[in-house]
Amino acid sequence: MIKTYLYFNQISSTSDYLKENYQSLPSLTFIQTGYQTGGRGQFDRVWESTEKENVLFSFLLKDILVDRLDLIKEYVLGSILDTLKQYHISGSFKAPNDIYVNGKKICGILIENLTELENCLYVVVGIGLNVNQEQFTGFSATSLKLETGRLFDVGEVYTTLSNRLYDWMVRVNGTKGIY
């Protein structure tokens, strides 16, 4: 399985881009941005992010069996929690789609799909991980920097997380598999 990376300095929404272009993009296309003008979470809630201070990306999976959709969420959660552990941060999942650290939101996940009968034409997984942002409005949130007191290379955190996600998908493909 080959992964494809795209980067935009600014985009409305990485998830919307993948959904609008899924037919022409290969499975395992990762799209990252420095800033989203229309970033959103579940129920179209606005995703707040300071420019170039957080990991903002989505990835595309195509032709997934519908009965495998729950596995994707497990892999995503495992990848995020493993990444946080690498930075000595203990996170926990809060339903329906958030990761919390010390009672504050550090990461949001949005999984969207288009299904046809028993086949899922695409799954788009959007992830926003707070890395260096220090101030948030409207809700209780935290970041890697606030939790550890150190500044992080956003690109390095993105690479670590996207590689973990890819490894999860490859590791299980052929055993439990998602395809």
pLDDT number for residue 139: 80
125 close to 109: Cβ distance less than 8 angstroms: yes
Whole-number mean pLDDT of the chain? 88
Beta bridge partners of 97: none
pLDDT number for residue 49: 77
Within 8 A by CB and 6+ apart from 69, the residues are 111, 113, 120, 123
Quote the CA–CA distance of 22 and 151 in Å, as a whole number.
35
Domains and CATH numbers, the chain: 4-172 (3.30.930.10)
Is 50 exceeded by the pLDDT of residue 13? yes
- Give backbone dihedrals phi and psi of 67, rounded to 5 degrees, phi first: -70, 0
Confidence of residue 45 (pLDDT cuts 50, 70, 90): low
pTM for the predicted model, two decimal places = 0.91
Quote the CA–CA distance of 174 and 78 in Å, as a whole number.
19
pLDDT number for residue 175: 44
Coil, helix or strand at residue 107: strand
